[in-house]
Chains A and B, each alone.
Chain A
Amino acid sequence: EPEVTQTPSHQVTQMGQEVILRCVPISNHLYFYWYRQILGQKVEFLVSFYNNEISEKSEIFDDQFSVERPDGSNFTLKIRSTKLEDSAMYFCASSEDRTPGNTIYFGEGSWLTVV
């Protein structure tokens, strides 16, 4: 079964450093997402991306965050200057379309630890 793949699986970074999390969505999917889960809290929506632009973003997704689809396969999340509170599991996801009940497929996540 096709799957969403994410790298790295775990990254430790110092506060203030830039981090790029990478994702390869399912190949025929057109919609891409990032979610995050702070330890012990709910999975939260960050951003959705379609046709090379952001279609929706949450309040969490401030100027420190950016997304990009640099080529035909990768989808990246960049955090410009990490803070301790950015420590979380970051999930990439993709979907074929947005018809009612359309399945959103998730990757295994990238654990980010900011120290």
Chain B
Amino acid sequence: GNSVTQMEGPVTLSEEAFLTINCTYTATGYPSLFWYVQYPGEGLQLLLKATKADDKGSNKGFEATYRKETTSFHLEKGSVQVSDSAVYFCALIGSGNTGKLIFGQGTTLQVKP
């Protein structure tokens, strides 16, 4: 079945450091890929998405590229801020698109001033 694997956390960075959170997936066909973020005390918010191979999703300085050859959707940001401290979830919806999101386990990011 479909699955998503994220790198283990927590990830602790200093402000302005470069961020990469790895995400790989297993799916048949052509899933859509998502990154959701959960700030402390809040719900899940869509950060960015990509629907086909080689698409790049971007938002708030974050980027991720849909790589079908490596089945990956790694999240990157060139310069993190303290306000980026949150839990980041990689997720997919299978090509049948039933609306059922399959989530990774989440990666906690802590950015220190």
What is the bound-complex CA distance between A108 and B105, given in angstroms?
A: 18
A103 and B99 contacting across the interface, CB-CB below 8 Å:
no
Chain A residues contacting B101 (CB-CB under 8 Å) are: 35, 43, 45, 104
Within 8 A of B (CB), among A59-107: 91, 93, 95, 98-107
Residue of B nearest to A46 (CB): B100
Chain A residues contacting B43 (CB-CB under 8 Å) are: 4, 6, 91, 106-109
A56 and B98 contacting across the interface, CB-CB below 8 Å:
yes
A33 and B103 contacting across the interface, CB-CB below 8 Å:
no
Interface range on chain B (Cβ under 8 Å from partner): 20 to 34
Interface range on chain A (Cβ under 8 Å from partner): 20 to 34
A43 and B44 contacting across the interface, CB-CB below 8 Å:
yes
Kindly provide the distance from the CB of A40 to the nearest chain B CB, expressed in whole angstroms. 9
Residue of B nearest to A103 (CB): B46
Chain B residues contacting A102 (CB-CB under 8 Å) are: 97, 99
What is the bound-complex CA distance between A104 and B44, given in angstroms?
A: 10
What is the bound-complex CA distance between A59 and B102, given in angstroms?
A: 14
With contact pairs A42-B103, A55-B98, A98-B97 given, residues A106 and B44 touching in the complex (Cβ less than 8 Å): yes
Which B residues form the contact surface with A (CB < 8 A)? 32, 36, 42-46, 49-52, 89, 91, 93, 97-106
